[in-house]
Structure 1
Amino acid sequence: MSRYFTEDHEWIELDGEIGTVGITDYAQGQLGDIVFVDVPEEGKELTKGDEAAVVESVKAASDVYTPVSGTVIEGNAALADTPALVNEDPEGDGWFFKLTLSDTAELDGLMDEAAYEAFVAKL
């Protein structure tokens, strides 16, 4: 599986044509304690850069943007009852949604893990 990152601190992990999207450990650290997450509904069509989800913390509310275009096939239902999963495991169990990619070429504009770590180091 391949994982890519955006400058807005989202990650997407690919398994064939399916992408799982969440926010990075850096992003959850900036937000603080997560108290609410609103994920997109199954079947929602997203275009790269669209607001796809909302995450609220004790500090702020923030939009989560989709790193690629596609159709949502699943939102992480566990986040409704346990939004703290985003703090506990942001790049694992705290994922936000899964989608079927409509254009894999959009991945070309994203960073790999090494490039993302270098990007974060400059912040």
Structure 2
Amino acid sequence: MTPELRGLADELTSVIDDVAAAFGPADRTLDGELDCDPTTPGHLLCWQYGVRVEHPAEPETRLTSLLPALHGDGWQSQDRSTPAEHITRFTRDGADFTIHVARAVTIIGSTRPVPA
């Protein structure tokens, strides 16, 4: 992993772990690099990280309480919810992560592309 990607990975891991802690105990679901440009393999890498929280208590209330701090840290949010699930995408400086609240689970994940 390049030093640039390692730094971004460390930062996003910290943000996602902090957000997940607001929902409850989390299990890591992904953590690693992938080649994210199929047209020119090896030229653009992404790092992915995700956690899963089973049966979170009051997920919408917890998300609402996190918004001021995330916005204060420069994260912009976009609501992509549907009637069946709550989805909020956060972006900052080309990095992003998503909070996806479904019936019995909350999934929080991120990816960030960088030149290889």
TM over 0.5: no
**Structure whose CA Rg is larger:** 2
Instruction: Write 1 or 2 for the structure with the bigger share of strand.
Output: 2
TM-score by length of 2: 0.31
Instruction: Write 1 or 2 for the structure with the bigger share of helix.
Output: 2
TM-score by length of 1: 0.29
